[in-house]
Chains A and B, each alone.
Chain A
Amino acid sequence: MSALNRKVIRDLRAIWAQALAIALVLACGGMVLVLAHSTERALSETRAAYYDRNRFADVFATATRAPQALLAEIAAIPGVAVAEGRVGFHLLLDLEGMVEPAVARVISLPLAGPPRLNVPILRAGRLPDPARPDEVALSEPFALVHGLLPGTRFVALLNGARRELQVVGHVLSPEFIYTIGPGSLMPDDRRYGLIWMGAEAAEAAAGRKGAFNEVSLRLSRGAREDAVIAALDGVLAPYGGTGAYGRDRQGSDQFLQGELDQLQAMGRILPPVFLIVSAFLVNMVIGRLVATERRQIGLLKAVGYSTAEVAGHYLRLAALIGAVGVVIGWAAGAWLGQAMTALYADFYRFPWLIYAPGPGAFVISGVLGMATALAGAWRAVRTSASLPPAVAMAPPLPPAYGAGRLDGLPRTLGAGQLALMVWRGITRFPGRAAVTVAGIAASVAVLIAAFSTYDAVRAVAAEVFGAANRQEVTLTLTDETRAAPALEAAQHLPGVLRAEGGYALQVRLSHGPRSRFVALEAHEPGDLMAHLLDSAGRPVALPPRGLVLPRGLAAALGARPGDRLRLQRLTPPYEEWDLPLSGVIRQSLGQSAHIDAETLHALLRQSPRVNRIDLRVDPARLPALHAEVKRSPVISGLTLWSDLRRQFDETLRENLLISSAIYSALGMLITLGVVYNAARIRLAERAHELATLRVLGFTRAEVGWVLLGETLALTALALPLGWAAGYGFAALMVAGFSTELISIPLVVSRQTYGFASLMVLGTALAAGVAVRRRLDRVDLVGALKQRE
């Protein structure tokens, strides 16, 4: 090894703690990059393979009732490779250990053999025998939660009648990687399950003998999806077709895609922060090293090393720091990526996982990491390495402690000499102070952005479970029905204090070339339970005319209040209406359009209808209500809002706890890296000065304050900047993490500002104290003898 390379290694060893602090900050950036990309890749590859192997359909459609013979016509549509029809419906289950009814979606299996599309994976037992109407297969997670092993029996409520079914197998399906029951907000394996049943039994139960109401298509290569969808809509129209759609609107895939988009956003938004901070840190540390080795640089040049060779020497040092950071980032990213992928696999229902992160993310993070370290060092190295040797070997000019304009400030404020030293230390090296302040502010920002997710979730919960929905129970009806008798009947259910009807209709909403399929929800002016909220979260009255859309949906359609929107009913007779957009509201979860009930019923030319009933109930009588609901043939689902709330909290608490722990660690690492390095440099530069103070009789504590005072002052300066940056960063995250289905509000609470500030202050103090302890070890005599 050449002598210069030995020097690189020994220099690195001499500044190992500082180098490690930088490497760790750099590693954070690489880690997040690798984590996000590898997880995203694992999920999308697993999804692709799962879809492929289990022949996940490309196009889906539902109809009221279509004859089996129609399938041949559908299969003949140009571009369709496979068409498969089936019967699907919801029913209630009366399960042991559950007072309330569970909801299940029934999916029929073909008359013979396994399905050709959306093939379920058998996880235990076997598929039902088509000849045995009581045999069913259950979705694995639901079966396991209820202990419904193959061979056990359970009770389903079919049209109000109890019917015993036998479990013969457990399956998973590419169609239900992420499943949400009707009226629910997130997956709930206890209350919502899937049942695969023989065709004849399912058709009989649904009252659709020889017919289907759901169809799935696999397209041939090169087929145009929109053309097929249009053709399919035409074929299904006479049979109550509700509009065919591609994978982009398939519930499970839509959520999965949202998650993948969020991972991409994470990989895009976070790493630059860490990379920029580490570039500044490298600049600070290498800059200091180069300054102390000025004479050595002069000598190297004197003996014949060129500017490029000298610069290369220090760049190699920076590259080594970069390499360490990159490798740590790779390792941590790969490890966390695997852990996170496993978490996802558990949350989503994948039968297996493909975790093959591939070189892409590693190469990108490696290149970015090295480039960051080199760019950081470049400025510091370039100036010094190009000094003429004679100049470099002469001692540098001492910092000009002349009379700066701000110098008198502390004295005017009555501060002592030590405070003056702190003050001048900052004002004399404004560049370094700025880097320190910016770094600390960046970590405050990262922490604020991380904690603001809690605020956002709290705001969403307050909205969904408080302001917007004041009902305690929601009943989903099997079919829409006339409002007055249904509400009258609901009032007489056990424990019901008040009942309000709700009506939702699937529509296609268009504005110019953009369109979305959404639920159009009707609201009665006197409703006390379901509310619409303005952007500040206050209930707003629905204007008597026109539509009200959530902000996100309006933005997706490019519509502003006053614009006219086209509504197309997705069920016969498929009428179209033009209605003005009369207002935008805040709706965090789900995206539905809202309309005055009277207006809607007038458009539909029908008497008021309901397909949902919201209830206020006497909690003591809930069991009786549950029992009654299980007996009712017209109710296909019951949502207990307190349950929903608990489940929402549990799911998010788990997910948020992990992510905010990671972000907190990342945020504190930045502070640690920045403060530790700044303080170490300050200590090195001022060893002489501080030793002099000790010789003059100042105590260790007093001298320590010169060092700590600067850290604290810079931290205090950084906090307000960090608050502002944190708010902006939170806004970026919200924008990146919001999907069309979930619009995350931008909320940063005072607690978040306070907590982030305290954490940073604590970390800064810890880093400062760690350096201050080195001060105790400074050799007084040695420091005073140093020729500088």
Chain B
Amino acid sequence: MQATGTAAPPVYRTQGLTRIYGQGDGAVQALRGIDLTLAEAEMVVLLGASGSGKSTLLNILGALDRPTSGRVFFRDRELSGASERALTAFRRDHVGFVFQFYNLIPALTARENVALVTEIAHRPMPPEEALDRVGLAHRMDHFPAQLSGGEQQRVAIARAIAKRPDVLLCDEPTGALDSQTGVKVLEALVAVNRDLGTATALITHNVGIQAIAHRVIVLADGRIVEDRRNATRIAPAQVTW
């Protein structure tokens, strides 16, 4: 598999991002000046120890959180400083999220969990199609409690991609899964990136997973310490867990 996307225009561009939680003595500096660009259709893996700032960065990119200083651009649009309403609209229209703990609504079936998003999206795919893409066409009417962890995570991915997002932000999507289920989830993510051209950023603790990405960014102590491109990519099934 060849690394691609180097020449594509950027989806995200950040300048000097910092994020400080709390105040005074208790203040924690999660990000200390991040400059980063993410290209269209690119798949990036974010690596780093706990507390290195990966999730904070992802949350800011996804407009779930705001930087303390610095700027974030989505294409030509500046997100830093945008209103709450604008950020909500941005998430609604452009971003798909996948979390470690699936965050499905227990009271809704798989199909309804996906519909939750398609109902408010501009040009969504039918929930059935999204679930079919992650191999869950046959489990659509099950409630989360009736699905395995891997299945629940794939529902979460279906929910994230159903709106045809411009970017897919995944925070440890395989963190709570065993290797076999993890592979299925990764396959679903790679397929979406490939078939729909969705730029994807993926946080993981599993170093093996970096090989499926176009590009690997390593964070430590709130800074980017390494940013490299994979010359070749491997298929999720080949990832050593």
Enumerate chain A residues within 8 angstroms of B113, measured Cβ to Cβ. 3
What 0/1 readout, one digit per residue, does chain B (124-155) give for beta carbons within 8 Å of chain A? 00000000000000000000000000000000
- B residues 147-180 near A (Cβ < 8 Å) are 159-160, 163
In chain B, what residue has the closest Cβ to A2?
Answer: B119
Are B64 and A7 touching (Cβ within 8 A)? no
- Which of A3, A4, A307 makes the CB contact (< 8 A) with B84? A307
Whether, in the assembled complex, A390 has its beta carbon less than 8 Å from a beta carbon of chain B, the answer is yes
Stretch at the interface among B6-14, B85-93, B202-210: B85-93
What 0/1 readout, one digit per residue, does chain A (484-528) give for beta carbons within 8 Å of chain B? 000000000000000000000000000000000000000000000
Whether, in the assembled complex, B105 has its beta carbon less than 8 Å from a beta carbon of chain A, the answer is yes
Enumerate chain B residues within 8 angstroms of A787, measured Cβ to Cβ. 101
Are B93 and A295 touching (Cβ within 8 A)? no
- Which of A6, A302, A303, A309 makes the CB contact (< 8 A) with B108? A6
Whether, in the assembled complex, B220 has its beta carbon less than 8 Å from a beta carbon of chain A, the answer is no
Enumerate chain B residues within 8 angstroms of A14, measured Cβ to Cβ. 107
Are A302 and B64 touching (Cβ within 8 A)? yes
Binding site for A on B (CB under 8 A): 59, 62, 64-66, 84-85, 88-89, 91-93, 95-97, 99, 101, 103, 105, 107-108, 112-113, 115-117, 119-121, 159-160, 163
- Contact A390 to B105, CB < 8 A, known contacts A3-B113, A6-B112, A304-B92: no
A-B pair number, CB within 8 angstroms: 79
Are A3 and B101 touching (Cβ within 8 A)? no
What 0/1 readout, one digit per residue, does chain A (352-396) give for beta carbons within 8 Å of chain B? 000000000000000000000000000000000000111001000
Whether, in the assembled complex, A300 has its beta carbon less than 8 Å from a beta carbon of chain B, the answer is yes
Are A3 and B108 touching (Cβ within 8 A)? yes
Enumerate chain B residues within 8 angstroms of A306, measured Cβ to Cβ. 85, 88
Q: Give the shortest distance, in Å, between B160 (CB) and chain A (any CB).
A: 8
**Interface size, A (range):** 20 to 34
Q: Give the shortest distance, in Å, between B89 (CB) and chain A (any CB).
A: 7
- Which of A298, A302, A305, A390 makes the CB contact (< 8 A) with B120? A305
Binding site for B on A (CB under 8 A): 2-4, 6-7, 10-11, 14, 295-296, 298-307, 309, 388-390, 393, 787
Give me 12 A-to-B residue pairs in the complex whose CB atoms sit less than 8 angstroms apart, sorted by A's number: A3-B108, A3-B115, A4-B116, A4-B119, A10-B108, A11-B107, A299-B105, A302-B97, A304-B92, A305-B120, A388-B64, A390-B64
Expressed in whole angstroms, the Cα–Cα distance for A301 and B64 within the complex equals 8
Are A302 and B117 touching (Cβ within 8 A)? no
Enumerate chain B residues within 8 angstroms of A4, measured Cβ to Cβ. 116, 119
Known: A2-B119, A303-B116, A390-B64. 11 other contacts (CB 8 A): A302-B62, A303-B92, A303-B117, A304-B89, A304-B91, A304-B120, A305-B120, A307-B88, A389-B91, A390-B65, A393-B103
Expressed in whole angstroms, the Cα–Cα distance for A393 and B169 within the complex equals 15
In chain A, what residue has the closest Cβ to B162?
Answer: A303
Expressed in whole angstroms, the Cα–Cα distance for A7 and B108 within the complex equals 6
Expressed in whole angstroms, the Cα–Cα distance for A302 and B65 within the complex equals 10
Q: Give the shortest distance, in Å, between B28 (CB) and chain A (any CB).
A: 13
Q: Give the shortest distance, in Å, between B153 (CB) and chain A (any CB).
A: 14
Expressed in whole angstroms, the Cα–Cα distance for A305 and B66 within the complex equals 17
Enumerate chain A residues within 8 angstroms of B103, measured Cβ to Cβ. 295-296, 298-299, 302, 393
In chain B, what residue has the closest Cβ to A305?
Answer: B120
Are A393 and B92 touching (Cβ within 8 A)? no
